[in-house]
Amino acid sequence: MELTNLVAPECVLPQLRASSKKNLLQELSHRASDLIGVDCRALFSALLERERLGSTAMGRGVAIPHCRLSGVDEIKGVLARLETPVDFDSVDGEPVDLVFLLVAPEAAGSDHLKALASVSRMMRDANALASLRGAEDAGAMYALLGSGSRSEAA
């Protein structure tokens, strides 16, 4: 699955400010509300509910908060790099500085899992993480999403 099919260029946030996990989810919900046209409160509630099941932080400074939401007709994503890392209850105890939000339709089924797998593959790649962290701006980060998708398909 091409990550650039999930994330539009304007959905890359290279300097997101957040002071805590909850504040980060609020900021992501607010931004996603504007960028991908979802209800801010419904998204925030769905993300909190998902986090209650277990943290979506996967270690090495990465989190992939995700949920299914009514009123969404296709899987959408928002990629954010935080100005300052925040504690996200990660398995390795490391604070999170890269976040990839995924929002899927309620009936997404296997497509939701395929999207999660694609994002997870890229976010486990040490070179991709270093490149995302070192990217100058949103455009450079977005370009990396495209190159990461192509290299995993090769």
- Annotated catalytic residues are 66
* Rounded Cα gap, residues 54 and 64, in angstroms: 12
Residue 98 · residue 120 · CB < 8 Å = no
Helix H segments across 10-39? 21-36
Q: What residues does 13 pair with on adjacent strands? A: 80
Task: Give the 3-state secondary structure of residue 125.
Answer: coil
